[in-house]
Structure 1
Amino acid sequence: MTDILLIEDDERLGTLVANYLGKHGYSVAVEADGAQAVGAILEHAPAVVLLDLSLPGQDGFEICRSVRSRYGGVICMLTARTDDIDQVLGLELGADDYIGKPIEPRVLLARLRAHLRRDSARQCGNALRFGQLRIDRDTREATLRERRIDLTTAEFDLLMLLADRAGQILSRDDLLQSLRGINFDGLDRSIDARISRLRRKLGDLAEEPERIKTVRGKGYLFNRAAWE
């Protein structure tokens, strides 16, 4: 099994990173061609994808957008492009982290280990963990900072759906189809109202909520990075 898939067209850098991570016990595969990246991610199914943005064939944003709904692991964008707009776009497309180049190898290793620990904890048993938020599928309870959140059945179902697909943008149509088996007619605001109640109960009260983000014109995104 591949632990880490590095998508990087700089051969020297790719070799250095792969060798360093390999010395610390990780199985690393390298893909240099952006056009082949989506296929490589789905084939290797790694625990972590380290994704450069500036690639031949297809850039990192397009790769992330194409693969996020079919790949449930961690995506870390590794790039020299540190503009705020690029970082926001990367996270909204489903990336879990945005790591600027250059980065010290030991710092990169520490961040990857942290992501792997969190991902392992989230997948433990039938409960999901995001920082201090725990969602238990079996007991249908959610706790925040060890305190139970008072959720209705409908609110829990929505939270579970969003959390199960953390990092993915879900449209109102996606949500209504999954929760009620109907299409969005352009008028039904029940999802918006339920999202608003969830945000309040999760303490996501900012003018621009970060834990459940609104992606204008597209839908909602459960942002796992906001819980760390």
Structure 2
Amino acid sequence: MKTVLVVEDEIAISQVLKAYLKKANYEVEQVFDGNLALAAFLRMQPSLVLLDVMLPGKDGWSILKDIRQHSSCPVIMLTALDDVSYRLSGLNGGADDYMSKPFIGDEVVARVNAVLRRASTLEDGDVKRFGHLIVDFKAHRVTLNGRDVELTPRDLSLLLFLAKHPNQTFTREQLIDQVWGMDYNGTDRAVDLAIKRIRKSLLGWTSTEGEIKTLRGLGYQLCVY
């Protein structure tokens, strides 16, 4: 059974989330103080985190940063601040989705299901080798010439997806849908910027082994030889 950690200081909201998630057959653990969130996360090792932004003690942005230092576990941010800048801050900080209050319980469950489905496509436990580039989908780890490739969680998720489907071309819209979700609120320009950062991180990958190609008018593919 998959587990969800709910970090939300409003007890009534937390209880509603717990009820809907348990009805959907998730195990649920609740934390009401930001200072206790990371310890609960490390102990519980949940499948997903529902993380409020405004919390007593440590705020949600800081907790998200802490989690990303330890794990690529999916995180959905919850906030009463319905502002695009906050939404983008969450996604750029490594969140997998973002929901503004008030929300409907069934919608939260649907978002949780969708995020976990996307994550599961990258967690089948196999390792792929493309010359000196090694992609470990279960560990969410990429190494090149024996060294870890440092990427933000969002850029890493994009590279993992492309590596999962080598020599297949995807449009920007398909990548946003499959990797970041239809609720992503940025522009497709973000895909171009992410690809640029990934290419920079893979400069040691020889052109005889593979490359991330741009197919003009079509999209991107991880081309391997």
What TM-score, normalized to structure 2? Answer: 0.62
Aligned to 1:98: 98
Give the aligned length.
168
**1:93 alignment partner AA:** G
**1:178 alignment partner AA:** R
Conservation of the 8 A alpha-carbon contact between 1:14 and 1:30: yes
Q: What SS is found at the alignment partner of 2:147?
A: helix
**2:140 alignment partner AA:** D
Structure 1 residues 27 and 213: alpha-carbon distance in aligned structure 2, compared to 1, 3 A threshold? farther
Structure 1 residues 43 and 176: alpha-carbon distance in aligned structure 2, compared to 1, 3 A threshold? same
Please give the per-residue CA displacement for 1:140-163, whole angstroms capped at 9, x wherever unaligned.
3xxxxxxxxxxxx46x55xx4899
Aligned residue runs from structure 1 range 40-189, under 5 A: 40-126=40-126, 137-138=128-129, 140=130, 153=131, 156=133, 160=135, 164=140, 178=147
Conservation of the 8 A alpha-carbon contact between 1:77 and 1:90: yes
Please give the per-residue CA displacement for 1:48-100, whole angstroms capped at 9, x wherever unaligned.
10000000001000000111120221100011112122111111211111111
Structure 1 residues 207 and 35: alpha-carbon distance in aligned structure 2, compared to 1, 3 A threshold? closer
Aligned to 2:214: none
Work out the percentage of aligned pairs sharing the same amino acid.
32
Conservation of the 8 A alpha-carbon contact between 1:2 and 1:44: no
Q: In 2, distance between residues paired with 1:115 and 1:208?
A: 19
- The Cα shift of 1:117 comes to 1.6
Structure 1 residues 73 and 202: alpha-carbon distance in aligned structure 2, compared to 1, 3 A threshold? same
Structure 1 residues 203 and 32: alpha-carbon distance in aligned structure 2, compared to 1, 3 A threshold? same
Conservation of the 8 A alpha-carbon contact between 2:141 and 2:148: no
Q: Which runs of 5+ in 2 are unaligned?
A: 150-158, 163-168, 173-187, 202-219, 221-225
What TM-score, normalized to structure 1? Answer: 0.61
Aligned to 1:23: 23
- The Cα shift of 1:175 comes to 8.2
